[in-house]
Structure 1
Amino acid sequence: MMLRKRAWDMMRDDFPIVREDASLAEAIRVMREAMVDAPDSQVVVVQKKSGKLVGAINLWKLFKAVKQSVLKDENLKEGGEVDWDQQFANACLICTQLRLDEHLITNPPVLKPNEPILLVLDTFLKSRRDWALVVEGEKVMGVVYVTDVYREMTRDMVKLFK
């Protein structure tokens, strides 16, 4: 049963998307909105106007970009008193001006819709990522997270142990 599962069986076809000309702040906003319905959502797909895949940005890349924005202020590095509210406001302003392409994962892990669950798992292991994009042609069909694969695998395992 489990070995018959394919990427399309596990993929989420409702996923956050931004265009390639979006700012870092826009990607953060879109991911935050996606997390309302899917708290484990952690990837924003970046596309051209035509819908062609450009890349993706994940939570870790967003964290790094925000950290770089906060640390741009020389006052933080001097070790004196810091107005953290003002610092955060400055970082937010910087984020609205940062280009997304500077933080983009341009070679994300990609799956074909009909790839079996073992190849999906192998893609996670080889890419050392806990997500992959399901792509057909040049169009992103969905996103599969390692948690989705885990749920599928353990669903059948739990049935066998009862």
Structure 2
Amino acid sequence: MMLRKRAWDMMRDEFPTVQEDASLAETIRVMREAMVDAPDSQVVVVLTKSGKLKGTINLWKLFKAVKQSVLKDENLKQDGEVDWDQQFANACLICTQMRLDDYLIKNPPVLKPNEPILLVLDTFLKSRRDWALVMEGDRVMGVVYVTDVYREMTRDMMKIFK
């Protein structure tokens, strides 16, 4: 049964997206909202104004962006008194101004909807990512996470073990 599973069987057809002109702060907000319903959701799809894929930003890229922009302030490294509320306000202001282009994953791992589970796993291993986009033509249909594959695999395994 498990070997019959395809990417479309496991994909999430609701996934976070932003337009290419979104700020870093907007992208963080969108990912945070997605994580309320799906805590393992860790990628935001970035679309052009015409709705085509521009790239993706995952959680690690967001961490990198925040570290490079927000946490680079030398005042944070001083031993003396720091006005943390002011530093946080400054950091939030920086986030609203940052563009996504420098942090985009421009060639994300891609699956076709009918690819079998073994090719899905192979894509994860080759890309060294734990997620992949499911695309048909130039349209993003969904996202598959390694946790989705694990859930499918273990569901069938548990039936066998009973």
Taking structure 2 as the reference length, the TM-score comes to: 0.95
* Structure 1 ranges of 4+ moved more than 6 A: none
Letter in 1 for 2:110: V
The amino acid that maps onto 1:9 is D
For residues 59-81 of structure 1, what are the alpha-carbon distances to aligned partners after superposition, in whole Å with 9 as ceiling and x for unaligned? Answer: 11111111122233222244433
- 1:157 maps to what in 2? 157
Instruction: Using the TM superposition, name which of 83-92 and 9-18 deviates more.
Output: 83-92
| Count of residues in Structure 1 that have an aligned counterpart in Structure 2 | 162
Q: Match for 1:137: what amino acid?
A: G
Q: Deviations over 1:34-89 (max 9, x none)?
A: 11211111110001111111100011111111112223322224443322222121
Alignment partners' CA distance in 2, 1:82 and 1:75 = 7
| CA RMSD, Structure 1 to Structure 2 (Å) | 1.1
Alpha-carbon contact 2:17-2:47 (below 8 Å) kept: yes
CA distance, structure 2, for counterparts of residue 13 and residue 6 of structure 1: 14
1:102 aligns with 2:102: yes
**Percent of matched pairs sharing the same residue:** 88
List aligned pairs for 1:56-95, cutoff 5 A: 56-95=56-95
In structure 2, what is the Cα distance between the partners aligned to 1:91 and 1:131? 29
Looking at structure 2, the residues matched to 145 and 101 of structure 1 have their Cα atoms a distance apart, in angstroms, of 24
Q: Where does residue 46 of structure 2 map in the other structure?
A: 46
Report the secondary structure of 1:143's partner residue: strand
- Per the alignment, in what secondary structure is the counterpart of residue 125 of structure 1? helix
> Can you give the 5+ residue segments of structure 1 that lack an aligned partner in the other structure?
none
3-state SS, counterpart of residue 14 of structure 1 = coil
- TM superposition score normalised by structure 1: 0.95
